[in-house]
A and B are shown apart, each in its own frame.
Chain A
Amino acid sequence: MTGPRKTTSLRLLGALVAAAALGVLWLLSGHGEGQRPPEESPGNATIAAPEDHSASEAAEKRGESMIGGRSSHLLGRLHDVAASLASNDNPDRSLGMLSELRADIESMDPESVSLAFRRFLESGVDAPTCLRLAAGTDGTLDAWPTLRVFILDRLPSVDPEAGLELSLRVMEVMTSPDEYAIALRNLAWSDLDGDLRGELIQRLDRMFSRADWVAQSSPGLLEAIDAAVLLPEDEGVGVALRITALGNSTVNQPLTRAAMMALDRIVERNPALLVDWEPGECLQPEQRASLMSRIDPSEAEQLPVFSDYLAGLANERELAVFSRLFPNGNQLQGNRLFSASLPTVSIERRREKDVRILDAIRDLEFSAGSPAAVALQQIRERLEAGIKTSNGE
């Protein structure tokens, strides 16, 4: 085996040099290339002579000027980070810079951070990071493709109202699908009692009306499909079906996969949706089989749907997938921008459900030798074998 990474000491040296260079740049700030805003110093803030105002008003203004000072300092740093990112092509280095920025911001007062963030976003300056957008454990991001996406991601945690306000502006101008995805998430976070649900649907539809964004299928756009899972079920199914159809028709595999993930997660939550469901030609046969494999015939209203579906299956590929997959015991888990995952079903609960389903389909009959009869027999045998094994037989 060869030894450890040879570039470790070089990386450390490089980091030290970069840190020193940033320090020099900070000291010399104000002589840049015009991207940085004019500096604000506490001396420029409006502070009236104490005898002209009450003591509390004077203290308030001194407080504002302190916020202004700290905010200016952070704003300067944001512009420095932008410059560093723009000249950097190493994603690990970008991640390090932004992770450090994130940690430092958490120890600062929210008002200063909010002000600096807002001013930076309004400046229009941005920088790529060489990172893909990556969702973290509760919808916050673990990686950001640009500095603006980083700021949009972090702003609600320091100032939710400013986060919503700026997110609405971002969604109006529609310059970046990744920015739009995080702005949409911020809108969802601002919803208290469903009052913003209608706007969320409209904004999601607008996102997918952009043919260029859909063709590009950036990570942000794909992660935003998760919003469909947050919507009322019928609306969510409709949105996800439309996107799936779009992906199928344009042979956009990442788009199709993401949309089908959303559909699967919606149907898993409520298989009864399949009772009145008519996907039409939106789905390919195997996709339809994958979704229908979630149906639960142990529920009275779903048994006839199971029976009719099996009886009416004419497509061989669809029949093959369904007969091997049903009843679907798989679950999708992961980090999502909008929705929470269902808890993992235990092995024991899965077995109990298999027993109930086997009981429910035991007396079903189809014409002898028909594809439906053959498929039903395969399903029964597989369930029986699995249950016997779990019983130790």
Chain B
Amino acid sequence: MFDRFQGRSARWLVALALLPALATARVYYSKPQLANVSTGLFESKVNGYWYRGSGVVARDSRLIFSCAHVFFDSGVWATDYLFHRQWHAQAYPVRSKGVTPRGFHYFTSYSDAAATVGDESNRAFASDFTVFYGNPSFGPAMPVWPDGGLAVRSQRSKQIVGYPSDIDFTGAAGFCFQHSTGAFNYGAYRILGAYHEFDDVSTGPGNSGGPVFVRDDRGEEKLAGVLVSGWNRLAGVRTLDLASHTISGYALGLQDKTRSFANTNRSLLSDGSYVSKAVTVSGFEGTLSSLRLNLSATTANRGALDVYLRSPSGKIRWIMKRSADSRDNVTIRGMDLSGSFSGTNPNGVWRLFLRDAAGGGRCYFDNCALVVSAL
């Protein structure tokens, strides 16, 4: 369908399988106030069609947070993305005035597109999140909440801003004005992971990527998440979390910190049963980028050992399995397990499981250490 003011074809950047937008506004309203100077209208060309949505400059002037439902449609990357910060007019902005990010980091799952129809459609793209980056300064950056989920679930003052093409699903055209829900303070409900839903608030189709701001104790507005779905009187929000903090942090060139966590409680390994040695990791603000293992065990027959590592969320990775290796003792230094665990939340209790599977001997766990790197 066509935008009636510029004859520009537009499709809505919505989570709900591209609802058809209304061509004609049935209700006229007074022009709203500009709500936030860091928020802007986003446009992108995918498979020859232009889409629109919203985005916000946050954390740093070189980053824009949004979502990107259709930026990788059928395996084809979008081109020609344009950001028009604090655009606030009835007509579309002139494309030549838009700022083009260098690229984007698109957080999505393989199965996102499978949920665009049916009962689950309002939760389609629940993990969808994008950080656009660029060389130029996109404008003043909003500060961010490290744990957006905690912020949106609180009773703090909030607002959702952006560029809905249809106001609150009423049929009233939003044109290209920036809109806000106004302040509200009730909390969202956590549905799954970083995906939350607000009852009794909505902005309208076309506002995907619209920022969700939450005020802190000093009254400062900070970005807590982006709008990823919506319906009449319901808003789905993907909140900022460890993953978004990591993606944006690495984009800015932040360096990991590396720390070692050990368990030095020497103990005898039972014949046949696993012994669990806990290693508690803490203090990281990003997902794991590197994990190395050190392990010492005293044994007359290392081939009798079964050893595996379990992450705080339950993923296992074998270190050693029973074998014909009859040499004594085990000394592992710097075994690289990054490929198995990178992207994991490193904080929590890791467990090393060991057993003397052959029995009959005296096998001791001496010590182990996990060397963890993350933001």
A→B interface (CB under 8 Å): 1-5, 92, 95, 110-111, 132-140, 142-143, 154, 156-157, 160, 189-192, 217-220, 222-223, 225-226, 244, 253-254, 256-264, 283-284, 286-287, 289-290, 293, 317, 321, 324-325, 328-336, 340-341, 343-351, 386-387, 389-390
Q: In the complex, are the beta carbons of B75 and A3 less than 8 A apart?
A: no
CA distance A101 to B106 in the complex (A): 33
CB-defined contacts of B126 to chain A, threshold 8 Å: 134
List 20 A-B pairs, Cβ < 8 Å: A1-B200, A132-B111, A134-B126, A136-B193, A138-B313, A138-B315, A140-B315, A157-B315, A192-B321, A254-B114, A261-B72, A261-B108, A284-B74, A330-B105, A331-B105, A332-B108, A333-B107, A333-B108, A343-B250, A350-B103
Closest chain A residue, CB of each to CB of B184:
A1
Among the interface residues A191, A283, A335, A351, which one has the most CB atoms of the partner chain B within 10 A?
A335
> What distance in Å separates the Cβ of A223 from its nearest Cβ neighbour in chain B?
5
CB-defined contacts of A1 to chain B, threshold 8 Å: 181-184, 200-201
Given known contacts A321-B77, A321-B79, A334-B108, what 13 new A-B pairs fall within 8 Å (CB)? A1-B181, A137-B287, A138-B313, A140-B315, A156-B314, A157-B315, A189-B318, A219-B114, A287-B74, A325-B79, A336-B110, A340-B338, A346-B251
CB-defined contacts of A256 to chain B, threshold 8 Å: 74-75
Chain B: how many interface residues by the 8 Å CB criterion?
77
Q: In the complex, are the beta carbons of B135 and A389 less than 8 A apart?
A: yes
CB-defined contacts of B127 to chain A, threshold 8 Å: 134, 334-335
Q: In the complex, are the beta carbons of A133 and B79 less than 8 A apart?
A: no
CA distance A194 to B80 in the complex (A): 42
CB-defined contacts of B184 to chain A, threshold 8 Å: 1
Closest chain A residue, CB of each to CB of B136:
A389
> What distance in Å separates the Cβ of A271 from its nearest Cβ neighbour in chain B?
15
User: Contact partner of B75 among A132, A191, A226, A264, CB < 8 A?
Assistant: A264
CB-defined contacts of B71 to chain A, threshold 8 Å: 330
Also in contact, A293 and B77, with CB within 8 A (given A1-B182, A347-B251): yes
CA distance A32 to B345 in the complex (A): 42
> What distance in Å separates the Cβ of B195 from its nearest Cβ neighbour in chain A?
9
Also in contact, A2 and B200, with CB within 8 A (given A137-B343, A330-B104, A331-B106): yes
User: Contact partner of A341 among B123, B183, B342, CB < 8 A?
Assistant: B342
Q: In the complex, are the beta carbons of B110 and A333 less than 8 A apart?
A: no
CB-defined contacts of A329 to chain B, threshold 8 Å: 102-103
Whether B36 sits at the interface, judged by CB under 8 Å, is no
CB-defined contacts of A263 to chain B, threshold 8 Å: 75
Also in contact, A346 and B252, with CB within 8 A (given A157-B316, A329-B103, A333-B247): yes
> What distance in Å separates the Cβ of A208 from its nearest Cβ neighbour in chain B?
14
Whether B191 sits at the interface, judged by CB under 8 Å, is yes
CA distance A219 to B108 in the complex (A): 13
Q: In the complex, are the beta carbons of A344 and B189 less than 8 A apart?
A: no
